[in-house]
Amino acid sequence: MSLYDDASLIAYPSGYKEDKIYSIKPTDGSGDLTFSRASSATRVNEQGLIEESPVNKLTYSEDFSNAAWIKLNLSITANSSTSPDGTQNSTLVVPNATVGNRLIVNNTVNNLKTNSVFLKKKEIEYVKLGNASATVVVNLSNGTLSKSSDSTNDYSIESYGNEWYRVSIYNKTATSYQIQFFFGVDSSGANIATNGTDGLYIWGAQLNSGSTAKTYFPTTDRLNVPRIDYSNGCGSLLLEPQRTNLYLNSEPTANENASGNISYVTADFGLGFSNYVLFGDNSVARYRYGGTCAASTEYTISAFIKMDSGLTPMSGSAATDDFTFVVGGVVVSSGYVTQYFSNGIYRVSATVTSGTSNLGNNGILKYPYQTDNGFKVVGWQIEAGSYSTSYIISNSGTTTTRLADTSSTTGLSSVVNSTEGVLYAEISALADDGTSRDISINDGTSSNYVRISLSNASANIEYNVVVGGSTQASGLSAITQTDLNKIALKYKLNDFALWVNGVEVLTDSSGSTFSASTLTNLSYNRGTGVNPFYGNCQNLMVFPSVLTDEQLTDLTGTVQTSFNSLALSLGYTIL
């Protein structure tokens, strides 16, 4: 018997899809959490690269009947054949008998991308794929392409078994194009007559950044996709507040307003960025944008920086520092925060209150007495707030907003024991910023809940058990909120305790609990949306009965860095 077996719910952040975070236990899906953000976002993936979430920039990637796809002179039938993922949701495309363009096209998308799609022959063996600049013809009988590259595109094809092929096109030069699938063509791509009944299968269209097709990710509206973030080396569910990047172009373009020895480079910066700004040696340079800060407002500015000389950003005295930030007309010369990524790349941030004038003056300033070889910068971000959040891509000439992450689940009366149990979380805060961030099991009201809170009392953790609006147990203990902490709250009649990182830090031997089936929800807030949890959650578990002191010591004593280590620590056999 292991602690894994004792848990009634384990929400280790491993599997997810749009709108949902899968729980490992229970296995019937009743413990899965819903998720919402209603906007795109970014994360740090397993390879340490910054990528959009989801990677697939297309909406309705398997629903070609949706208005996101323009259809011309053909018919489509959904759920017609088994797709490469084993589901019965591929689409049959039958071109009309009339000779002419018979196509499916997606709306125009900006920036350099790779588009891909899965195809399978039924009766028709040829299909033409393309964009605004070039096309390729696919032979679905033998899995060959009419070309492998041209001046603007690279093409590839890969077999996925059961006669399915994935075809990819990487556009090397265009900044705006449409994804086009032409049907009713011959081996040269010319339109030919068809009988109006023969067709082929299509499934899983994707558009992703980079020069290769990434692992396919299905989308509908593509907005509510959870982020498993690897910034700290292990996967954690990332939940953040709403923030807006005030930079109009967070990645450089040649028409940016800048002065001094600056060059714009289209080359690999690292971390998934394909361009950057190079600040040259001994330059007096300020990088600006067209937006404006509000007066006398707290902002955090950040950017990804790589020092050509191999120096660490902001590591020395004023005479050897490599640059300073400028926010709303204010020069920032202290209070920097650096996060190292890889290959000499740091994300550097600073928080400052803007001035009352020169509010459009924002960016990076390099002083003239510098003697190093310069530095590369990309991913500018200015956001209202006391700390930096994940990178918000803002390249459309306007400010860009990432909405807040929310997650919860209901209907857990068979999973949660209201009379006794343990709520366990492996969490860290984004910052110790004086706000309360709660995780709770509750009844959806403010009257009944068990909560763990990274408290608004600075550098503290708090717990509360509230029954019928009356607090039965509570406590406050010191903690480093931004560290990953393993926390367990035990609740039972006249027996309450909080364990943190292997130590029992708070106890209470007087208080009642709930009547049966009172607690039915699990929420990354107090239960009514109050005090949303913003931070990282590496694991979340519910136990339907109290654990012994020895079990609580084991449960909270060692921070696990992977699902395998977690499973082994709990005595679970990995198959």
Asked if residue 167 has pLDDT above 80, the reply is yes
pLDDT digits (tens, 9 = 90+) for 68-115: 999 999 999 999 999 999 999 999 999 999 888 998 998 766 666 788
- Give the pLDDT mean for 138-167: 93
pLDDT tens-digit readout, 250-285: 988 765 666 667 788 888 899 989 888 888 766 666
Give the residue among 388, 174, 379 at the shortest CA–CA distance from 276. Answer: 379
Q: By percentage, how much of the chain surpasses pLDDT 90?
A: 69
| 0.85 exceeded by pTM | yes
CB 540 within 8 A of CB 438: no
Q: Which residues pair with 76 in a beta bridge?
A: 93
Does the pLDDT of residue 532 top 60, yes or no?
yes
Q: What is the pLDDT of residues 289-334, one digit of tens each?
A: 777 899 999 999 999 999 876 677 765 444 445 678 899 999 887 7
Least confident range of 61-70, 252-261, 382-391, 512-521: 252-261
Mean pLDDT calculated for residue range 142-158: 91
Which two tokens mark 365? 């300033």
**DSSP for 74-123?**
EEEEEEEE--TTSSS-EEEEEE-SSSS-EEEEEPPEESSEEEEEEEEESS
Residue closest to 251 by CA, chosen among 289, 283, 279, 215: 289
Q: What pLDDT is recorded for position 109?
A: 67
Tell me the per-residue pLDDT of 476-497, one tens digit each, with 9 for 90 and over.
999 999 999 999 999 999 999 9
Give tens-digit pLDDT for 544-558: 999 999 999 999 996
DSSP E strand boundaries for 112-175: 113-121, 126-130, 135-139, 144-145, 153-161, 164-171
* Strands 460-467, 345-353: pairing kind: unpaired
Higher pLDDT, 11 or 173: 11
Confidence band, pLDDT 50/70/90 cuts, at residue 211: confident
Most confident of 174-178, 271-275, 390-394: 390-394
Token pair in block for residue 152: 């603007």
Q: What is the pLDDT of residue 319?
A: 44
